[in-house]
Structures are given as C-alpha cells and as structure tokens.
Amino acid sequence: MRVGLRLLELARERRARAIFVVGTGKNVGKTTALLAIYEAACRSGLRVGLASIGPKPRLRLHPNTVFITARPLLPPSPAVEILNISQLESSSGSLLYARTAHGGLYDLAGPSSASGLRAAVEEIAARSDVVLIDGAIDRISTLASSNGAIVVSCGAAAAKTESEAVCDVATLTARLRVPAFDPHAGILELEGALTATMAAGFIAAREDRQIVVGDSTQIVMNGRSLAEALARLRIRCRRAFEVIATTVCAVAPERSFDPAAFLGAVADATKLPSFDVFAGKEVA
C-alpha cells in the first residue's frame, strides 16, 4: 500500500489542483500525510508547490519544489531560486516564494489570514501542477475559490479515548461535507454563522427550507449538536468542499490506540477512504 500515491490519485480523480491537509488537533500526523503525498507527487514527475498557514519546521524538499517561506528562515545553502518577494507577512517575517534548485532542508512559513493564504496558494499554483497545503480548519475557506480537495487527519494526540477521536473526525468530516444547496428548492440564506442556538430554533420551528451558509466553516457546531442539526435540518452550503479521505495516527507520546481498530472505526464513522500512513494501510 503506497498511501501517498493513493491519496494523490484520489485528489487527481477529482481534478483537484490543491490538496489541503487539516487535522482534528495537533500532532495527528498532518505533516506525515502531507509528506507522503509530496513524495508520491514528486515521484510522479509533477511540479509540486507547498504552502503552510504558519511556520513549519525543516522539511527535506526535492529539486524543483515551489514553496513559501519567511525571509529570515531561508537557509543560505543550498541556494534557492527566489521567485518573488511577497507583500504578505508572517509571524516569522516577510514572506517570499522560492523554488528549490537542489534537494535540501527548508522551512515553510505562510500568512496567517485566509485571504493571505488564498493569495499564496494562487501564486504557487501558477508555478506548479499541484499545491499541498498544511492547513487549519479555520483557513479552509481558501479552498472555496480553488479546485481543491481536503484530507482530514486525526489521531491519538488530539483525544483522550479512541471513541472521542472517532467522534471528532466524524463530526468534522460531516461538517466539511455539507452539500451545496439546490437553487430550485426553497432556501433560507444566512449572512453569518449557523450556531447551535440558531439550529435549535430552526428545529423547533420545523424549518423545512434549505438553510444555506457561505461554506461549512460557517457552521459553528460540534458533536451531538451538529449531528442533530444535520439530521433534522437541510443544512446546505453555497460553496461545498470536497473531502477525499482521512488519515489516522494511532500513536502519541501520551497514549496510543490499536492502529487497526482505530483505522477501521474512522473509516466506518466517516464513510471515507481512510489511511494509516504509519502502518501503510487503507480501509475503503
């Protein structure tokens, strides 16, 4: 099982040019999943671009990789091609776009705002076949304007129990996969976010129109509230996202789950192709 290649194939089947890897929390194997896709894309001969929402320490990059980094983080050697100095800023300093001429260790850095990330992804996409983004849920609206796919990573580091981890990833993927609205059916369009209080009101009022938000990041609910709202209301998005897979990381310094059982449970709960990059397994 070549996990990186499978994830890349799933994205390319949907003609996605940007793959956003997001996680249910920290240390859930996002970077491992991203690097697996990166390696597969490089081996496939694609021109790969890398972006990140914040500083991402030292990755070993192959030649001809386009990436965004902060000026102070750029190592002197091996020298890279400086493509453009951006007006965007990051917590590590002003940002620039570069392309590796040789393999080496490089830091990624990126803008913290969604609009900045969107601009960075567009700039990198113009110079590469596929852009891989180490992202965060609250910046995922960047994808709304691009042809992108989402991989959701989950793991033992972000939950106290296996069932909690499974519930978290199921909730997150359910939220991200809220479908696009039907323009021919009745709609109730919301200007801002859909909260649990609002959803409870709509349920009480037996609202049967489509409740439309801009994108699923504007659905501000989790857990039981979200499950109930999705089950009892017709929640829809103006801009839907394409979630293609989940990845699991069963081990963390503080706890670990049984890898096979965890992978199976995640696949079952999300109904998505699920991968364990560490074990080289897939459950479809």
Partner 1 sequence: MKALDLLDDASADLLGFDWLVKALAPVSPYGARLFSELVPFRPGNEAAAESRARRIAEIADGLHPDRVAAARSLLQQLPDIVGVVARVSMGEMLDDPAFLELRQFCEMLERIDASLAASALVQPIANEATRAVSESLAPGRNEADGFYLADAFDAELAAARAAYAQAQAELNAARGRENESVARELGRDEIAGNEFIVMRSELRGALPAGVRVVREAATYLLCALEYGESCRSALERREAALRTVAALEERARLSLSSIVSEHAAGLGAAAGALGELDVTIGAVRFTQRHRCTAPVVTGEPVLTFEQARFLPLEAELTVAGRRYAPIDLDLRGAAVLTGPNMGGKSLALQTCGFLALCTAFGLPAPAVRARVGLFDQIAWLGTGLQERTGGLLSSFARELLGLQEILARSAPRLLIFVDEFARTTTPHEGKALVVALTERLRERNACALVATHLQGVAAAAGVAHFAVRGLKGIRTPPAARNLHEALEALAASMDYTIADVSDDDVPVADAIALAELLGLDSEFVKAAYRALSQ
Contacting residues toward partner 1, per CB under 8 A? 1-4, 32, 35-36, 39, 63, 71, 74, 76-85, 96, 99, 101-104, 127, 250-251, 256, 258-260, 276-280
- Of 39 and 215, the one with the shorter C-beta distance to partner 1 is 39
CB of 74 to partner 1, least distance (A): 7
Closest CB to partner 1 among 161 and 197? 161
Q: How far is the CB of 156 from partner 1 (least distance, A)?
A: 11
- Taking the least distance from each CB to partner 1, the nearer of 202 and 275 is 275
* Cβ 247 to partner 1 shortest distance, Å: 11
Shortest Cβ 221–partner 1 spacing (Å): 34
Q: To the nearest whole angstrom, how small is the minimum distance from the Cβ of residue 48 to partner 1?
A: 16
Nearer to partner 1, 59 or 176 (CB): 59
Nearer to partner 1, 96 or 114 (CB): 96
Output 32 or 195, the one with its CB closest to partner 1: 32
Of 144 and 252, the one with the shorter C-beta distance to partner 1 is 252
DSSP track, the chain:
--HHHHHHHHHHHTT-SEEEEEESSTTSSHHHHHHHHHHHHHHTT--EEEEESS-EEEEEE-TT-EEEEEGGG--SSS-EEEEEEEEEEETTEEEEEEEESS-EEEEE---SSHHHHHHHHHHHHTT-SEEEEE--GGGGGGGGGS-EEEEEEEEGGG-SSHHHHHHHHHHHHHHHTPPBP-TTS-EEE-SS-EEHHHHHHHHHTT--SEEEESSGGGEE--HHHHHHHHHHSEEEESS---EEEEEEE-B-SS-B--HHHHHHHHHHHHTS-EEETTTTEEE-
Residue whose CB is less far from partner 1, 83 or 240: 83
**Nearest Cα residue to 55 out of 91, 96, 99, 103:** 91
Give backbone dihedrals phi and psi of 75, rounded to 5 degrees, phi first. -75, 150
CB of 205 to partner 1, least distance (A): 44
Burial of 49 (C-beta count, 10 Å sphere; 0-12/13-18/19+) = buried
Nearest in space to 237 (alpha carbons), one of 266, 214, 261: 214
CA distances from 190 to 23, 187, 219 (A): 27, 9, 10
Q: How far is the CB of 206 from partner 1 (least distance, A)?
A: 48
Please state the closest distance from residue 108 (CB atom) to partner 1, in A: 16
